[in-house]
Protein backbone atom coordinates (compact mmCIF):
# COMPACT_ATOMS: atom_id res chain seq x y z
CA UNK A 1 0.00 0.00 0.00
CA UNK A 2 1.53 3.28 -1.14
CA UNK A 3 1.10 6.09 1.39
CA UNK A 4 1.34 9.76 0.45
CA UNK A 5 1.49 12.52 3.04
CA UNK A 6 0.60 15.82 1.40
CA UNK A 7 0.67 19.47 2.38
CA UNK A 8 3.97 19.36 4.25
CA UNK A 9 5.33 22.77 5.18
CA UNK A 10 8.18 22.07 7.59
CA UNK A 11 11.36 20.03 7.10
CA UNK A 12 10.94 18.35 10.49
CA UNK A 13 7.49 17.06 9.54
CA UNK A 14 8.81 15.75 6.23
CA UNK A 15 11.61 13.95 8.08
CA UNK A 16 9.14 12.47 10.56
CA UNK A 17 6.89 11.23 7.75
CA UNK A 18 9.89 9.69 6.02
CA UNK A 19 10.98 7.95 9.21
CA UNK A 20 7.44 6.64 9.70
CA UNK A 21 7.57 4.96 6.30
CA UNK A 22 5.73 7.34 3.95
CA UNK A 23 6.32 6.57 0.28
CA UNK A 24 5.38 9.93 -1.24
CA UNK A 25 5.65 13.40 0.29
CA UNK A 26 3.63 16.22 -1.24
CA UNK A 27 4.54 19.91 -1.41
CA UNK A 28 1.76 22.30 -2.43
CA UNK A 29 2.69 25.06 -4.88
CA UNK A 30 -0.90 26.17 -5.42
CA UNK A 31 -2.95 28.83 -3.61
CA UNK A 32 -4.21 27.71 -0.20
CA UNK A 33 -3.30 27.42 3.44
CA UNK A 34 -0.75 24.65 2.81
CA UNK A 35 1.09 26.45 0.05
CA UNK A 36 4.88 26.60 0.35
CA UNK A 37 7.16 29.12 -1.29
CA UNK A 38 9.89 27.92 -3.59
CA UNK A 39 12.41 28.60 -0.81
CA UNK A 40 10.38 26.59 1.70
CA UNK A 41 9.97 23.78 -0.78
CA UNK A 42 13.68 23.79 -1.52
CA UNK A 43 14.48 23.50 2.20
CA UNK A 44 12.19 20.49 2.57
CA UNK A 45 13.56 18.89 -0.59
CA UNK A 46 17.13 19.40 0.60
CA UNK A 47 16.32 17.73 3.91
CA UNK A 48 14.91 14.70 2.13
CA UNK A 49 17.70 14.46 -0.43
CA UNK A 50 20.25 14.41 2.39
CA UNK A 51 18.68 11.38 4.06
CA UNK A 52 20.85 8.27 3.87
CA UNK A 53 19.43 5.20 2.18
CA UNK A 54 15.86 5.00 0.95
CA UNK A 55 13.87 8.20 0.91
CA UNK A 56 10.28 8.97 -0.05
CA UNK A 57 9.58 10.32 -3.50
CA UNK A 58 8.89 14.05 -3.63
CA UNK A 59 5.71 15.25 -5.32
CA UNK A 60 4.98 18.85 -6.26
CA UNK A 61 1.29 19.78 -6.40
CA UNK A 62 0.22 22.40 -8.94
CA UNK A 63 -3.11 23.85 -10.06
CA UNK A 64 -3.52 25.15 -13.61
CA UNK A 65 0.13 26.13 -14.07
CA UNK A 66 1.78 26.05 -17.51
CA UNK A 67 3.77 22.86 -18.09
CA UNK A 68 6.95 24.91 -18.48
CA UNK A 69 6.49 26.37 -14.99
CA UNK A 70 5.80 22.97 -13.48
CA UNK A 71 8.85 21.50 -15.19
CA UNK A 72 11.11 24.33 -14.03
CA UNK A 73 10.07 24.02 -10.39
CA UNK A 74 10.43 20.24 -10.50
CA UNK A 75 13.91 20.54 -11.97
CA UNK A 76 15.09 23.20 -9.53
CA UNK A 77 13.87 21.32 -6.44
CA UNK A 78 14.65 17.80 -7.61
CA UNK A 79 11.06 16.58 -7.52
CA UNK A 80 10.37 12.98 -8.51
CA UNK A 81 6.75 13.42 -9.62
CA UNK A 82 4.24 16.19 -10.14
CA UNK A 83 0.58 16.27 -9.19
CA UNK A 84 -1.85 18.24 -11.34
CA UNK A 85 -4.93 19.11 -9.30
CA UNK A 86 -6.70 21.65 -11.47
CA UNK A 87 -8.45 21.66 -14.83
CA UNK A 88 -5.37 20.81 -16.86
CA UNK A 89 -5.79 19.00 -20.21
CA UNK A 90 -4.18 15.58 -20.68
CA UNK A 91 -1.75 17.12 -23.17
CA UNK A 92 0.04 18.68 -20.18
CA UNK A 93 1.24 15.21 -19.16
CA UNK A 94 3.08 14.88 -22.46
CA UNK A 95 4.73 18.28 -21.98
CA UNK A 96 6.08 17.51 -18.49
CA UNK A 97 9.09 15.14 -18.42
CA UNK A 98 8.10 13.51 -15.13
CA UNK A 99 5.47 11.02 -13.97
CA UNK A 100 2.14 12.73 -13.28
CA UNK A 101 -0.43 12.16 -10.58
CA UNK A 102 -3.72 13.58 -11.86
CA UNK A 103 -6.37 14.47 -9.34
CA UNK A 104 -9.89 13.69 -10.50
CA UNK A 105 -13.16 14.10 -8.63
CA UNK A 106 -15.51 11.76 -10.50
CA UNK A 107 -17.48 14.71 -11.81
CA UNK A 108 -18.34 13.12 -15.15
CA UNK A 109 -16.63 15.80 -17.22
CA UNK A 110 -15.16 15.23 -20.66
CA UNK A 111 -11.75 16.33 -19.41
CA UNK A 112 -11.88 13.74 -16.65
CA UNK A 113 -12.82 11.03 -19.14
CA UNK A 114 -9.86 12.05 -21.28
CA UNK A 115 -7.54 11.76 -18.29
CA UNK A 116 -8.88 8.27 -17.57
CA UNK A 117 -8.13 7.30 -21.15
CA UNK A 118 -4.63 8.76 -20.84
CA UNK A 119 -4.00 6.82 -17.62
CA UNK A 120 -5.27 3.63 -19.26
CA UNK A 121 -2.31 3.59 -21.64
CA UNK A 122 -0.45 1.80 -18.85
CA UNK A 123 -2.80 -0.23 -16.68
CA UNK A 124 -0.24 -2.37 -14.87
CA UNK A 125 0.02 -1.22 -11.26
CA UNK A 126 3.40 0.43 -10.73
CA UNK A 127 5.83 -0.04 -7.90
CA UNK A 128 7.48 3.07 -6.51
CA UNK A 129 10.57 2.25 -8.53
CA UNK A 130 8.76 1.82 -11.84
CA UNK A 131 6.55 4.84 -11.16
CA UNK A 132 9.51 7.15 -10.63
CA UNK A 133 11.35 5.74 -13.63
CA UNK A 134 8.59 6.27 -16.21
CA UNK A 135 8.24 9.93 -17.25
CA UNK A 136 5.23 9.07 -19.44
CA UNK A 137 3.23 7.55 -16.60
CA UNK A 138 -0.09 9.06 -15.52
CA UNK A 139 -1.54 7.75 -12.26
CA UNK A 140 -4.99 8.88 -11.16
CA UNK A 141 -5.72 10.25 -7.70
CA UNK A 142 -9.40 10.26 -6.73
CA UNK A 143 -10.39 13.15 -4.46
CA UNK A 144 -13.68 14.50 -3.13
CA UNK A 145 -15.86 16.50 -5.51
CA UNK A 146 -16.33 19.93 -3.93
CA UNK A 147 -17.32 22.56 -6.52
CA UNK A 148 -14.76 25.35 -6.71
CA UNK A 149 -12.17 23.50 -4.62
CA UNK A 150 -9.00 21.79 -5.78
CA UNK A 151 -8.40 19.41 -2.89
CA UNK A 152 -7.46 19.70 0.76
CA UNK A 153 -11.09 20.08 1.82
CA UNK A 154 -11.27 17.24 4.32
CA UNK A 155 -14.38 15.95 2.52
CA UNK A 156 -14.67 12.23 1.79
CA UNK A 157 -14.54 11.00 -1.80
CA UNK A 158 -17.22 8.77 -3.31
CA UNK A 159 -15.80 5.41 -2.22
CA UNK A 160 -18.20 3.12 -4.16
CA UNK A 161 -17.52 4.96 -7.43
CA UNK A 162 -13.82 5.06 -6.67
CA UNK A 163 -13.95 1.29 -6.15
CA UNK A 164 -15.49 0.83 -9.60
CA UNK A 165 -12.64 2.79 -11.14
CA UNK A 166 -9.99 1.05 -9.03
CA UNK A 167 -11.16 -2.28 -10.43
CA UNK A 168 -10.09 -1.04 -13.88
CA UNK A 169 -7.15 1.27 -13.22
CA UNK A 170 -4.56 1.65 -10.47
CA UNK A 171 -5.24 4.78 -8.44
CA UNK A 172 -4.56 6.62 -5.22
CA UNK A 173 -7.48 7.50 -2.96
CA UNK A 174 -7.64 10.90 -1.26
CA UNK A 175 -10.37 12.96 0.34
CA UNK A 176 -11.23 13.02 4.03
CA UNK A 177 -8.99 10.14 5.06
CA UNK A 178 -7.62 9.91 8.59
CA UNK A 179 -6.17 7.26 10.93
CA UNK A 180 -9.68 6.15 11.95
CA UNK A 181 -11.22 5.57 8.53
CA UNK A 182 -8.34 4.72 6.20
CA UNK A 183 -8.53 0.96 6.80
CA UNK A 184 -12.25 0.92 5.95
CA UNK A 185 -11.64 3.06 2.87
CA UNK A 186 -8.99 0.64 1.67
CA UNK A 187 -11.27 -2.35 2.24
CA UNK A 188 -13.99 -0.76 0.10
CA UNK A 189 -11.98 0.88 -2.68
CA UNK A 190 -8.92 -1.39 -2.93
CA UNK A 191 -6.68 1.40 -4.20
CA UNK A 192 -3.00 1.19 -5.04
CA UNK A 193 -2.38 3.79 -2.37
CA UNK A 194 -3.85 6.49 -0.15
CA UNK A 195 -3.21 10.21 0.22
CA UNK A 196 -3.79 12.34 3.32
CA UNK A 197 -3.35 15.96 4.31
CA UNK A 198 -5.89 17.46 6.73
CA UNK A 199 -6.49 14.05 8.32
CA UNK A 200 -3.03 14.11 9.92
CA UNK A 201 -3.23 17.65 11.25
CA UNK A 202 -4.13 19.22 14.58
CA UNK A 203 -5.21 22.86 14.47
CA UNK A 204 -3.97 23.10 10.89
CA UNK A 205 -0.47 21.82 11.63
CA UNK A 206 0.91 18.40 10.73
CA UNK A 207 0.79 16.09 13.77
CA UNK A 208 3.57 13.51 13.86
CA UNK A 209 1.57 11.09 16.01
CA UNK A 210 -1.30 11.20 13.52
CA UNK A 211 1.07 10.71 10.60
CA UNK A 212 2.50 7.62 12.28
CA UNK A 213 -0.97 6.31 13.14
CA UNK A 214 -2.22 6.86 9.59
CA UNK A 215 0.68 5.01 8.01
CA UNK A 216 0.34 2.13 10.47
CA UNK A 217 -3.41 1.86 9.83
CA UNK A 218 -2.98 1.93 6.06
CA UNK A 219 -0.27 -0.71 6.10
CA UNK A 220 -2.24 -3.04 8.37
CA UNK A 221 -5.45 -2.81 6.29
In whole angstroms, what is the distance from residue 126 CA to residue 14 CA?
23
Q: Is 6 a catalytic residue?
A: yes
Q: Which member of 6, 23, 92, 195 is catalytic?
A: 6
Q: Is 207 a catalytic residue?
A: no
Q: Which member of 23, 80, 92, 143 is catalytic?
A: 143
> Which residue numbers are catalytic?
6, 143
Amino acid sequence: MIVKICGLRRPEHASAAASAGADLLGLVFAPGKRRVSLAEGAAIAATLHQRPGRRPLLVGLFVNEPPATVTAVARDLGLDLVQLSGDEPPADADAIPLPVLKAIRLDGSATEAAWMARAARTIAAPTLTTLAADPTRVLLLVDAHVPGAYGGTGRTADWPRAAELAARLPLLLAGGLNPSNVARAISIVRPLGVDVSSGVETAGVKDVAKIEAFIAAARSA
